Each structure stands twice: as C-alpha cells, then as structure tokens.
Structure 1
C-alpha cells in the first residue's frame, strides 16, 4: 500500500485536535475542494451530456480522515427523464459504436419492414480509462491533498495561537 507519512501525520493531528477545530478544518476545506473538483471536471467534459451527468452532479464529502470526490451518483432526473446514476457509465466510459438494434415495424399501409437502430452513436467510443472523472481525479488529487494539508495546518496553527 502506498501511503504518505506526512498525510498520516496530518490525519493523526486532525483526529487529536478539539472538535471545534476539526469542524473548522472541514468547513474551510469543503468549498475549496468542491470548486476545484467541478472546475477540473468541466475542463475534461466535452459534451452537454457529460456536463449534465458528471459535472453538475459532482459532490465532495470531507471528513477528518479523507476527502471523497463523487460524480454521477445523484438520483435526480435529467431533462430527458434518465437519472444521472443510471447514465454515468455511458458518459464516463463511452459505448460500443457498432451496437445495432434491429426490430420489425409495420407501416400505415400494413407493410412489414425491418428497422436498424444505432443506439450508441451519440456517445464516445468505449474507453476503459474514462474520459472525464478518472483523468480529472488523477490530475487533481495531488493538488487537493496539498490544499487539504495547507488548510488543516493553517487552522491548527490559528487554534494554537488563540490558546497561547
């Protein structure tokens, strides 16, 4: 397991600090991380579909031990009727471009004919590494760790100065 002694020391010092100091650290960290996360996602998203499903549903959860980055997990309905949590896989990883659906149909005159639908052409081609969330997370996590550390150290220092 890759771990940083500095981050472990930070987590330990946050855990051992007073409850109100912990609350201040969480309070100051969340808005900064939230805006950085959404900006990073917006830079990587190239379609309106990706913006609706991945960027607009981006959330951050801050605790004393970690910072969770979330996207696409909301149950809110989008304008087309689908839910973000049902569509996030297609928005992030794309779809098989050769996927066809064939079905029979009957015209107004009663003539039968076959219809071929290409149901995934509006999505990007399949990519296991992702297009928006995964590249953004890989790029932004070191910066967010530094931001969290700076915020926590500054808040701990200010609390220490008030006592002294």
Structure 2
C-alpha cells in the first residue's frame, strides 16, 4: 500500500525539504522519525492482533519500520515465519502431496492456519489506520529537527 505525496502540498514540501537539507541533518531526522514511529506501529499491531500468541510471535514482535527521505516502509512479520498465512489464513481443505522415505503422502498441510480472509486480520487493517498517523509523525519530526538545527545554527552564529 502506498500513498501519493503529490496529492498533498504538505507531503510534497516534506519530501522536497528532506532532499535539500544537509546529509547529516537528514540522517538525524530519519533516526528520530524511526524512534517515534516504530513503537506506535508495534502498539497498533498488538491492538489489532487476536489474543493468540502466534500472532504476536510472527507479526508483532518482528515488526519494524524503514524510514527514507521519501517516506516510510511499514513491516510486519519476518520472512520464513509464515506471516502471510498467519495474517490472512489459508485454504484449510487443500491437499498437498509430498514424498517421504516410505513413499508418497497426501495430507491437508494447511490445517494449522485459520480460514482464509481476503483483507487480513492484523496488517492491512492496521496499515489503513496507521498511514495518515505515520505521515503526520514523519512531518512533525522533520519539522522539529530542522527547526532545532536552525535555532542551533543561529545561536552559534550570534555568539
């Protein structure tokens, strides 16, 4: 899911500011933004996740956010730990045939997952709710960081 920054004057200005500020200040802004967004993202995922431990182990705990000059990438889950099947479920009645030492076996290998849900249970509902909040946090953090840097430069130049 992506948001088009060209539809908002504020977000367009944010991307332009991030592209023009000095590299060290941009790095500091990204680090501070990540420090603010990650706990909020995990908190929302934990609220959306059902009470079962498997959702927290596979989706909430390994979640993170990658922040760049052009936006933030929200991550839930970790590759190799069945995040897709945990969030969306699976077709439980499907059969899978595989070979063992003793021969060919046909079983329902998706039975451990919940029934398939098109919109997901945790990630997509959380993302729909969090994207506007994430952009607002990103804009506020960038504005505050740049303003503090300018005040520091003025203070150093005036003394």
Bin for the TM-score computed over the shorter chain: 0.7 to 0.9
Q: Which residue is equivalent to 1:52?
A: 57
TM-score (norm 1): 0.77
Q: C-alpha displacement at 1:68, in angstroms?
A: 0.7
Q: C-alpha displacement at 1:8, in angstroms?
A: 1.0
* Structure having the higher Rg: 1
Kindly tell me the number of residue pairs found equivalent between the two proteins: 143
Q: C-alpha displacement at 1:59, in angstroms?
A: 1.4
Q: Which residue is equivalent to 2:67?
A: 62
Residue 65 of structure 2 aligns to a residue whose secondary structure is strand
Flag structure 2 segments of 5+ consecutive residues without an equivalent: 98-105, 155-159
Residue 61 of structure 1 aligns to a residue whose secondary structure is strand
Q: Does 1:26 align with 2:35?
A: no
Residues 114-157 of structure 1: CA deviation (Å, up to 9, x unaligned)? xx965444422211111111111111111111111100001111
Flag structure 1 segments of 5+ consecutive residues without an equivalent: 75-82, 103-115
Instruction: State the alpha-carbon separation in 1 of the partners of residues 112 and 8 from structure 2.
Output: 42
Superposed structure 1 runs of 4+ greater than 4 Å apart: 116-119
Residues 25-48 of structure 1: CA deviation (Å, up to 9, x unaligned)? 011111111111111111111121
TM-score (norm 2): 0.79
Structure in which a larger fraction of residues adopt helix = 2
Of stretches 129-138 and 40-49 in structure 1, the one that deviates more from structure 2 is 40-49
- State which of 31, 41, 47 in structure 2 corresponds to 1:43: 47
Q: Does 1:155 align with 2:132?
A: no
CA RMSD of aligned residues (A): 2.3
